[in-house]
Amino acid sequence: MRVCVAGAYGAFGIKHLDAIANIKGVTVTSVMGPTKDKIEAFAAARGIPHAATDLADCLSRDDVDAVILSTPTGLHAEQAIACMRAGKHVLVEIPMADTLADSQAVVAVQKETGVVAMAGQVRRFNPSHQWIHNKIAAGELKIQQMDVQTYFFRRSNMNAKGEPRSWTDHLLWHHACHTVDLFQYQTGETCDKAFGLQGPMHPDLNIAMDMAIGMKTPSGVICNLSLSFNNDGPFGTFFRYICDNGTYLARYDDLFDGNDKQIDLTGVTMSNNGIELIDREFFAAIKEGREPNGAVAQVLGAMETLDRIERSF
């Protein structure tokens, strides 16, 4: 498997490159980044034979079978469609698009071309959430309520590496997308009720810095999601699963019961690195000629729910 990583020297591009280094049979043959000198030096330092500033240059190569897009959110749909039309399998970092219309276009082109197209919904793969999912699938748990907190301290336009970002992140279309998809994946239902409230807009970034979201499935399972870029304290996303047979708290890759007793996740997944796990699923689906867990068509329901929430503001 020969792969191009676009957005290679960004925070998540590097995460994918490091993950691929742990996967046998996969070689990075091309990287793309916006600055010529920087991407060429980056490729040379990592021993990658080709570097470009234009994705089209990468897609034209015979030694590229698949592409991982770790580029700015606003480019995801257009670039994913370009990859598929070039006959390349594509893994799009979350979210696959920042509008419902663009998400629908991505799914339509996947159906037209038949290539593997996957969205990087990493929460489906984290060991803590997989443990819950396995219990649900076995009939041992049923979720009654999920309470989720997604908190950052990001009052300026900086990326995960602490560097200035050329685009603006979004609480709804990026960070809420993780939980909306996970909630619907774990319950096996698409929400029939969803609403959101947002706080004041940032005067420079023009995005809401605080948000509250409520969702309900047709069977009555509810989810409460709180998000903030104003939280000066521990950051990340914390999940509470309130079930018919116990309460569980997922904190990063660890899982605890309702009494704060840690649950042994040994053997649930082959790695604790969520990025590596989504990459492994992507490459396995290509090799096996099947739809991956997190295929763009599977994630479309989450994008429909995000659109419903946005229209409720």
Quickly state the pLDDT bin for 91 (edges 50, 70, 90): very high
- The residue-averaged pLDDT of 39-59 equals 98
Q: What is the pLDDT of residue 159?
A: 62
- Is the pLDDT confidence value at 143 over 70? yes
Q: What is the pLDDT of residue 300?
A: 98
Tally Cβ neighbours within 10 Å of residue 163: 10
Percentage of residues in the chain with pLDDT exceeding 70? Answer: 96
pLDDT (tens digit per residue) in 239-290: 999 999 999 999 888 999 999 999 999 999 999 999 999 999 999 999 999 9
Q: What is the pLDDT of residue 234?
A: 79
Token pair of 10 as six digits: 């960004």
Token pair of 256 as six digits: 């605890």
Q: At what angle do helices 100-113 and 76-85 cross, to 10 degrees?
A: 10
pTM for the model stands at 0.94
Is the alpha carbon torsion for 75, 81, 82, 84 positive or negative? Answer: positive
- Is the pLDDT confidence value at 219 over 70? yes
Q: Let me know: does 140 contact 245? Beta carbons within 8 Å.
A: yes
Task: Tell me the domains of the chain and their CATH numbers.
Answer: 2-122+275-293 (3.40.50.720), 126-268 (3.30.360.10)
Q: What is the mean pLDDT of the chain?
A: 95
Lowest mean pLDDT among 104-118, 144-158, 269-283: 144-158
Q: What is the pLDDT of residue 158?
A: 64
CA distances to 62, 126, 130, 273, 280 from 122, in Å: 29, 7, 11, 10, 12
> If DSSP states are collapsed to H, E and C, what string results for 104-133?
HHHHHHHHHHCCCEEEECHHHCCHHHHHHH
Quickly state the pLDDT bin for 235 (edges 50, 70, 90): confident
